[in-house]
Amino acid sequence: MSRRTALRSIAGVAAVAALPRSRAAEPAAKSAPAAPVPAGEIRQSACKWCWPKIDLETFAAAGKAMGLVAIDLLQPEDFPTLKKHGLLCSMVSNPTAKTPQGVTVGGIGKAFNRLEHHDTLVDIYTKRIGEVADAGYTNLICFSGNREKLDDQQGLENCAIGLKRLMGLAEKRGVTLVMELLNSKVNHKDYMCDHTAWGVELAKRIGSERFKLLYDIYHMQIMEGDVIRTLKDNAAYIGHYHTAGNPGRNEFEAQDQQELNYAPIMRAIKSTGFKGFVGQEFLPKRDPLTSLREAVKLCNV
């Protein structure tokens, strides 16, 4: 199951926990351990879509018990459950809507790199910025869209034009629009914001502290490698991180099974003075809550 599919699914009005998922191989959830993971200096969250068989209520309680402070990629209707458990939504999910021409925009494939999408995107993001701010949260995800033969330079200019229309409101309401860096090699073919340098140039053109990048370590390992040097060099433009092992977006504790070494990566993030969130976004192979707990423990540096 890809996150493209999951994000498309959670864009509807139904609660995330109630949506159907197809990852039948995931083990059934077990009760969370009672003792919390010792706290580290990095604030950690988890992307709910990676644990589809666990309802949000159970997931929130388990996450809180193991040391999470937030959950990623939820819709406004999920906010009351988070507040009940004393958790934040560290990255609010993107809104979607159809343009007058009947094109659904706001997701990974069709977003800010097309001028003809801007009016609809501004409308739906204006509403979502208000929902995020009213809930007391600060991060709202956005996407570039796919190339579809559009030149990268033109796409960059188009994204800047559209996002600048939202910056005044975002600054006023204290909400940061965060564009995710995704790989276009394996998971999201043709996606435009697929290199850190492109995203950083977009951030420079927008010129607002309320626009940042979501540096997905898994995705950027596939596209670029050199993760630690890249995140240190571009720390000023990164507002959020996601994790997963590569290859396969799997668990990352077993170093003999994947190529990313997360302990030094987390220390590198910490060394930049990062005050945001690191969201766990891997697909567990074992008991899902045990896998999450071990990842949280590994990333507490």
Q: What is the structure's pLDDT at 113?
A: 98
Does the residue 16 lie in any domain?
A: no
Q: What is the structure's pLDDT at 24?
A: 34
Q: What is the structure's pLDDT at 198?
A: 98
Tell me: the pLDDT tens digits for 134-164? Answer: 999 999 999 999 999 999 999 999 999 999 9
Q: What is the structure's pLDDT at 31?
A: 42
User: CB-based contacts of 139: which residues, under 8 Å, 6+ apart?
Assistant: 89, 90, 91, 92, 132, 175, 176, 178, 239, 240, 276, 277
Does the residue 33 lie in any domain?
A: no
The one-letter amino acid code at 26 reads E
Q: What is the structure's pLDDT at 26?
A: 38
Q: What is the structure's pLDDT at 5?
A: 54
Q: What is the structure's pLDDT at 106?
A: 98
Q: What is the structure's pLDDT at 7?
A: 55
* pTM of model > 0.85: yes
Does the residue 201 lie in any domain?
A: yes
Between CA 82 and CA 99 the distance in angstroms is 32
Residue 109: which region, alpha, beta or left (left: phi > 0; alpha: psi -120 to 50)?
alpha
Structure tokens at 66: 């193991």
Does the residue 270 lie in any domain?
A: yes
Does the residue 94 lie in any domain?
A: yes
Does the residue 32 lie in any domain?
A: no
Question: Residue-wise pLDDT tens for the chain (301 aa)?
Answer: 556 555 554 444 333 333 333 333 334 444 444 345 455 689 999 999 999 999 999 999 999 999 999 999 999 999 999 999 999 999 999 999 999 999 999 999 999 999 999 999 999 999 999 999 999 999 999 999 999 999 999 999 999 999 999 999 999 999 999 999 999 999 999 999 999 999 999 999 999 999 999 999 999 999 999 999 999 999 999 999 999 999 999 998 877 789 999 999 999 999 999 999 999 999 999 999 999 999 999 999 8
Q: Alpha helices of the chain — where are they, by DSSP H? A: 3-10, 56-66, 79-84, 118-134, 152-173, 196-206, 217-223, 227-233, 262-271, 288-299
The count of domains in the chain is: 1
Integer-rounded Cα Rg, in Å, for the chain is 18
- The helix/strand/coil state of 12 is coil
Does the residue 25 lie in any domain?
A: no
* Structural domain range at position 79: 3-9+42-299
Between CA 143 and CA 181 the distance in angstroms is 8
Q: How far is CA 142 from the centre of its chain?
A: 9
Output the domain CATH number for residue 113.
Answer: 3.20.20.150
Does the residue 24 lie in any domain?
A: no
